Amino acid sequence: MKARRGQFPKNQVAFVCAILCVSCALVLFVSVFRLPDVTIASFRPENRRAVGRYQKIGKFGEMVIEMLPEDLQFTVFLPSEKAFERDLRLHLNDSLVGDKANDTYAILTRVLGFSAVPRTINAVNVPYGQEVDFDSLAGFTLYISRGADGVLVVNRIRSNNNVDLQQRSKILVHIMDGVIMDAEFEQSVLPDYNEDGGGG
């Protein structure tokens, strides 16, 4: 009896230690993987539309994303709806009809080339106060930094959101308050003032 009484507390201590270890492991697991829960939820087809609507990916943004293969990892620094209109003069009511449709697809292809990187770049992986650079699909260098507010800045264009938006299975999207492009493409999309009668 004395031998059994001596062993019983040891078994209880071992059992309590095991419960504590499992509990700590669960707390650690939940705390580490808590942030990606939002990203994982956006993989579901019913949530994809909601992400697009609330974060204003827009029709042109969806068209750019659809040009990418689904089975490879990409990060796209996508212009916002306003940036498509303001900087590229693309409007849904007339840019997808008739002869303008071909021009629109050509512009969106160029936007994809300048703004997509064939790897995953999460905002949290960009260190504060430092600049990292990656080559886009078109070979254009993207200089990426993160401000104190957590917002990414790419080639001096700020992101509109400080969360990573997941589209499809492997495409990460950052909505930008402008269009990332080289000087030549920017010159080609600037308004031609002579067409408006400003040239005399």
Q: At what angle do helices 58-66 and 45-54 cross, to 10 degrees?
A: 130
Model pLDDT, residue 24: 63
Which domains, from first to last, does the chain contain? 55-191 (2.30.180.10)
Residue type, 192: D
Angstrom distance (rounded) from CA 114 to CA 107: 11
Question: How far is it, in rounded angstroms, from Cα 174 to Cα 163?
Answer: 8
User: What is the model's pTM?
Assistant: 0.66
pLDDT number for residue 100? 81
Instruction: Evaluate whether 113 touches 95 at the Cβ level (below 8 Å).
Output: no
Establish how many alpha carbons lie within 13 A of residue 121's alpha carbon, considering only the half-sphere containing its beta carbon. Answer: 27
What is the pLDDT at residue 131?
94
As averages over each run of 10 residues, the pLDDT of the chain (200 residues) reads 51 74 63 40 35 63 92 93 91 78 90 95 89 95 91 93 73 93 87 49
pLDDT of 29:
52
Identity at 169, one-letter amino acid code: S
Rounded Cα distance, 120 and 12, in Å = 48
| Cβ contact 119:94 at 8 Å | no
> Are 130 and 148 spatial neighbours (Cβ–Cβ below 8 Å)?
no
Tell me, what's the pLDDT at 45? Answer: 35
